[in-house]
Amino acid sequence: MKKPIFWLKSGLFAVGLGMSFVYAIIPPLARDLGLSEIQASFIFSLSAVAWAMTSAPWGRASDKYGRRNIAILGYIGYSISMIILILPIYLADKNILSAAFVFPLLILGRTIYGLLGSATRPASFAYIADITPKSKRTKKFARFESNFLLGTLVGPLLGGYLYLISALAPFIFFSILGIVVAMGVFFTLENKPMEVSEIPTSKLSRLAPTVWPYLVFASVLSLCSASLLQSIGFYLTDNFNNLEDITLLISFTFVLLSISTIVSQNMFTSMFNLNNYKLLIYGCLILAFSYCIMAVSDSIATYFSSIILHGVGLGMVRPANSSGLSIAQQPEYQGEAAGHLGSVLPIGHILTPIVAMPLYIYNSSLLYFASGILCFVLFVFIVLHPIFKYRYED
């Protein structure tokens, strides 16, 4: 436990715990509070805007002030946001707080997560890039990302169990865990800011030829993924309300998605050792196919099958895209590159209330067909753009 990598992995695990539990619990809570699908989605949307605005600056800050300090700030912000998110719901339930204040306070809690929690990812992944040669970066990124996915797997289960004890219990537990991780990182990770002579005189532009293709890919994938994540709870509630324990089915769906993604990440980057280009083209086709199955699914078994297939595709494309961006950059730009990538990951959550949820309300099948088409467009983009085929040497 003295190795900083352990605490950075634990940090991603902790953030995954809270994030997945919030996604699982907000839709049913929103319905109980009388909030619409668009209002519930708006809570995540504003947080995503804050994340998009601050991720790249946090990445640059980690280059200048050190990975440790910026990562710790992110964990503290995450912990604060978890408490603020549940407190208004709890107080309103106890008739201590007016219901009129619940919605804006929920937005406040998630916005704090976006403003400060966005510091964790660029600082953590930049550290991994610092200590990992290019030839092993895809595998390392995949394994590192698996800790976040493991958190998303455990989050709904552990959070659901704690929620049975008290509505406050899971949020308090996840908040304390974030503080513990922050302390672990503080005492084990040496803070090494760049020397003044090493700090680049110019910023890494989002429009740089080695940057923008990866950001475009991540942006479109973000929209597809966010629309799925935010619609799972509503979709199961609307289409399978005849089944018992619908909340459990929602949690189980997130579990299936996380397990299949974790297995896929480790299988295709370690056992089969596919290069980034193959991971991207195969993954995009699998994702497109999975969305089409979702669109026509008429049974819970078929829907679960599409979720598993979706996880397989995600497990292939996510580490390939993030490592490809990292490999294409010089060492002094690793933090900023990770920050740029982090800034576009929330785009899907920003656009989902505007684009995806109205489409879902009109026809849920159209939403999934549209996502499938976008994933096929990504496949064509990967095939046509030469940067994804280029191999960088150590």
Q: Which helix (H) or strand (E) holds 316?
A: helix 300-327
pTM of the model: 0.76
**H helices present in 94-168, as ranges:** 102-116, 120-131, 137-165
Q: Is 68 helix (H, G, I), strand (E, B) or coil?
A: helix
> What's the fold here for domain 4-190+206-389?
Growth Hormone; Chain: A; (1.20.1250)
54, 355 in Cβ contact below 8 A? Answer: no
Please tell me the predicted confidence (pLDDT) of residue 200.
59
Please tell me the predicted confidence (pLDDT) of residue 194.
63
Fill in the DSSP letter of residue 245.
Answer: -
Mean pLDDT by groups of 10 residues along the chain of 394 residues: 82 88 75 72 79 88 88 94 85 78 84 90 88 81 83 82 86 94 92 63 80 94 88 82 74 83 83 83 96 89 93 91 86 82 82 83 88 96 88 51
Burial class (CB in 10 A: 0-12, 13-18, 19+), 171: buried
Q: How far is CA 18 from CA 25, 113, 157, 297, in A?
A: 10, 11, 11, 29
**CA neighbor of 318 nearest in space, from 274, 265, 273, 368:** 265
CA atoms within 13 A on the CB side of 88: 19
Please tell me the predicted confidence (pLDDT) of residue 52.
85
